[in-house]
Amino acid sequence: MKKLFNGFEYLEIKNSAATAKIALSGAHIFEYKRSSEEDILWLSDIAAFKEGTAIRGGIPICWPSFGMNNPRLPQHGFARTSLFSLLYSEDIDEHTTEVLLRLTDSQRSRKLWNYKFELNLKITVSDTLKMELETINKDRQAFTLTQAFHTYFNISNIKDVMISGLDKKPFLDALDGKIKRQNGAIKFSLEYDAVYQKVDGEIVLEDKRRTISIKAEGSSSAVVWNPWIEKCSRMSYMSKEAYKEFVCIETSNAFDDFRVLQPNHSHTLKATFTPL
């Protein structure tokens, strides 16, 4: 375990295949790169590293609500600003390291969301980055869950990227509230905020720097987002030109892909990111 000058704790993983940095606050991965390669994740150069504040960039955990799905909760829920416990960090072999982090209900969480739960995030760092987020309902009543890995991908320039794998999929255009259908690959020339449904295969991010494969389990929705110029200039912990440097492709249970968990039942959201 390492600490920044202000006491902010994070875990640094190093093996022969890759390195990663994971904050205990939010169970937030803010660096992942394979040996001799650049980081696949974008991190704001003015991101705040302090407990209780969401880190701008990397992979925030949106849980138990995505966006403003539950108006009684903060945007994207409370997991991304909560302190997780490290259960273990173990080298499986010279190429693979496994980390398990846990968040459970507390007096603070029950004031926001009055349910008992256990949230486990298993992270596998190797030549791929794998995340498995298990939600267990420890309460006596069912609850509704929306969630996402809000992944910021590091790119050369937003105008030079293309996203494939979502052709013909229906999506909610969050900018105008209309249901639409994707036609071809996604390219960017304006603000983009879309929640795709019936997602059942690999999503591929193509950049002139590299290609990244995104595969999901326990999910049939994905969010694609870039704030573009005007919104970027208003956002916290983000420089005015930052929109050029990233695109978010979020493995999720969002919009119609919400999950209802009965008592003692669980659901696991999985994502695997592979630079090609």
pTM above 0.95, yes or no: yes
Q: Which two tokens stand for residue 166?
A: 């979502």
User: If DSSP codes are grouped into helix, strand and coil, which group holds residue 220?
Assistant: coil
Q: Is 250 a catalytic residue?
A: yes
- Res. 209: pLDDT tops 90: no
> What is the arithmetic mean of pLDDT over 189-199?
98
- Quick one: fold of 2-275? Beta-galactosidase; Chain A, domain 5 (2.70.98)
**In the chain, where the domains are located:** 2-275
Select which of 28, 31, 76, 150 is catalytic.
150
Residue 80, Ramachandran bin (φ over 0: left; ψ between -120 and 50: alpha; else beta): alpha
Looking at residues 33-61, what average pLDDT do you find? Answer: 95
Confidence label for 5 from pLDDT (cuts 50, 70 and 90): confident
Q: 64-100 pLDDT, tens per residue?
A: 999 887 888 999 999 999 999 999 999 999 999 999 9
- 91-114 CB burial, b ≥16 within 10 A, e <16: eeeeebbbbbbebebeeebeebbe
Is 51 catalytic? The answer is no
Model confidence pLDDT, tens digit, residues 115-157: 999 999 999 999 999 999 999 999 999 999 999 999 999 999 9
Tokens of 100: 């398990």
3-state secondary structure of 106: coil
pLDDT at 97: 98
232: left (phi over 0), alpha (psi -120 to 50) or beta: alpha
Confidence of residue 193 (pLDDT cuts 50, 70, 90): very high
Q: Which candidate in 28, 76, 245, 250 is catalytic?
A: 250
Averaged pLDDT of the chain: 96
